[in-house]
Chains A and B, each alone.
Chain A
């Protein structure tokens, strides 16, 4: 595929963001302006009175025509200028940027370790398919998937941080390498939480590949089982592996809500939780929009990566 066609493909796919964002903004507008309660009552609390509610509505721009308000949301979605948080009065964009960096310090090591462990374990299970080690791994992954993340957090924090004192109980320090002691235990918990489902998924992918004609041919040619597995099966399974890996990234970034809350890590999860607790609508809106955008971007990255791992795939 030429560079130009790849380039035009990316541009075309990214242009899909426009109708998606228009739809997401409409949904956000509907939820926050029609379904949810009056934010001025939430903000003013027990001292809400009609006059001050009207003044606050005016100051927040909630008394403008609904279409203008919708356009405002749409504008913020395309300019990434989400204004200021109602709760902390901070600019939302830098706030989310800082939160993203903090979340990344936790998520990147957890994501990398989970992916390496999951792919290796799945290969091992596929290699020993039907045997005791495979059956044992299947049972283990099902158990791991069945346990709630809260159990991992509460137990891990109590045993490893409090009783054994190996890790920090909670907290976070900015800057490398100061943050490391604070992210080891939560990262390990994230690995355990995600490992079970990933191993099951990759094992299925590998097993699917192992019954393909090219594998039979490779074996007929006398290649060792190890060579078949690593040189042929792994390479051909890369497309679904990449799909799973890349599309998981946004979910990893926003899905660490509970872990961040229990370990006092000021990342995106904590920002989301605080925004929900404080009815901080501008922050919730910003996170919703950015999630939609990141899903589109990461799905494009997935498509592009397909062409790199499998020359048979052409983007059109």
Chain B
């Protein structure tokens, strides 16, 4: 009898617990519009100066804002004012940039402010934000954005490297708040790409009160001016919940668009943001992300090549079964280039143009695209990807066409008929399964003309070290755009930046000066002829991102809106 009572009590407790949990999980009638997104990697805190990877950028841009932004519906990319009231005035010597800020922009309501009410954004907040970026004690890994570019900023940083405290009250000649709404940057030398830096998260406005109130934990208590706010954030969490910022200024959906985005103008002029809440699930593994998406627990997802792409895409189109369900597929080129670098300092390649050209033509680009990108990538004709000013859609690189016969002929002319006499070449790749598979594909392509390739895998620092010391024969690299200027790619051909730079041969004094926008086309042509002649770079593809929207959420049926929610509304 006693045992029966015990069992009964246990059953009642378990039942109550079960009902409690179920009631908490029961879907509430949706009064608010919620966007359910997913991040493929851990979010490492939301302090603008510490943001490094794309996943964290996606989250930080929901909360923080910068002076300038991109017009997301225009191509090539176009800069537009964001927290600035207009585009800056620039002095004739291209050194002084003066911004006027929007008035009435408020920081999020937060306990760090008196009475918890967010105060108005001023030019001093940007001065403070740039000083934080350069603060030697904070060691922001994004300092390169302003390194040696703003007058007096490097000197200020240098002064405090060994000091106990950094003095933020000290004036910096190149970084001045003229009045409450006027901000002036003075550069050390002309640098038109500076405006692009201002669109990047590390240059976004932060409130001094928030930094001081939260101290080292500031990165977990983001306080910005953006459309969404987050109460508290823990980098260990697997979910971030954002609520609409009730004091967000009047911002409207764009009313102009490039031809390919004209269909998105149905929402032109509507007030942003469109959703009340965003929930970001952080899931590093693919299967749970995909299952959550199929279950309707995630609205938008990017499709990876390895597994689910096979279940979703055929010939770059959504499979009919998913089309019937009302799902939508969006494909967009990533502004980046995936390529293999010949080390021209190596005696084998240095004066042997024909060898490089033979290898370039033996590379089966179309098959590579199909195997690794489901045919969704674009075969690169130059190092410059589409979407940037200077990109020429009509340009066809004569050495980028897969032609095995010609490749064999060139190899013979290079002095190595059918690869005879040519030593085994090494291709250095970074250690990961995709890089290895791509390397093996290259190996197979070269085998077809008799060239033997040995694949060497390296951890990233090791690969960088080898590139810097010109210790590779061939190495595989992907470069993704940091700002939409051809300079960001062409600096790889002459600059010191690794990977892919000319390394030890780089002579700063002889390097190209910073490019002006109008030079871009000329430089592109210059680069084109450089590549046609020397084939230093064997371009492969511009990879793509594929998005796929969820048909299960009624207000997200229009996939194009979903993309915009991810980009225009949030950024």
A residues at B contact (CB < 8 Å): 37-39, 41-49, 52, 55-56, 58-60, 84, 87-91, 95, 98-99, 102, 154, 157-158, 161-162, 165, 169-172, 177-178, 180-181, 261-266, 270-271, 273-274, 277-278
Contact = CB atoms under 8 A, between A and B. Distances in A.
B50 interface: yes
Contacts of B52: 45
Given A98-B236, A170-B281, A262-B288, 11 more contacts: A42-B461, A45-B141, A52-B144, A55-B139, A60-B139, A90-B217, A91-B216, A161-B291, A169-B292, A170-B285, A178-B21
Contact of A55 (B21, B136, B282): B136
B460 A158 contact: no
Given A47-B141, A162-B291, A178 B24 contact: yes
Contacts of B565: none
A59 B137 contact: yes
B238 interface: yes
A316 B449 CA distance: 74
B219 interface: yes
Nearest to A102: B236
Contacts of B460: 37, 41-42, 45
Contact of B45 (A89, A270, A273, A277): A89
Given A37-B462, A170-B288, A177 B21 contact: yes
Contact of B283 (A59, A162, A264): A264
Interface in B481-496: 496
A264 to B, nearest CB: 4
Interface in B109-157: 136-137, 139, 141, 143-144, 147
Contacts of A266: 234, 236-238
Interface residues of B, number: 52
B220 interface: yes
A52 B143 contact: yes
A249 to B, nearest CB: 22
Nearest to B43: A88
Contacts of A265: 238
A48 B462 CA distance: 13
Contacts of B282: 264
B365 interface: no
A90 B220 contact: yes
Interface in B22-41: 24-25, 41
Cβ-closest 8 pairs across A and B = A37-B461, A170-B288, A41-B461, A264-B238, A88-B235, A47-B144, A266-B236, A162-B291
A41 B499 CA distance: 12
B464 interface: yes
A91 B215 CA distance: 12
16 contacts: A37-B461, A37-B462, A41-B465, A45-B52, A46-B498, A49-B144, A52-B143, A58-B161, A59-B136, A90-B235, A169-B288, A170-B281, A177-B17, A180-B17, A265-B238, A266-B237
Contacts of A52: 143-144, 147
A52 B17 CA distance: 55
Interface string B445-467: 00000000000000111101100
A54 to B, nearest CB: 10
A205 B237 CA distance: 42
Interface in B201-228: 216-217, 219-220
A172 B283 CA distance: 11
Contacts of A262: 285, 287-288
A170 B139 contact: no
A55 B498 CA distance: 18
Contacts of A55: 136, 139, 161
B42 interface: yes
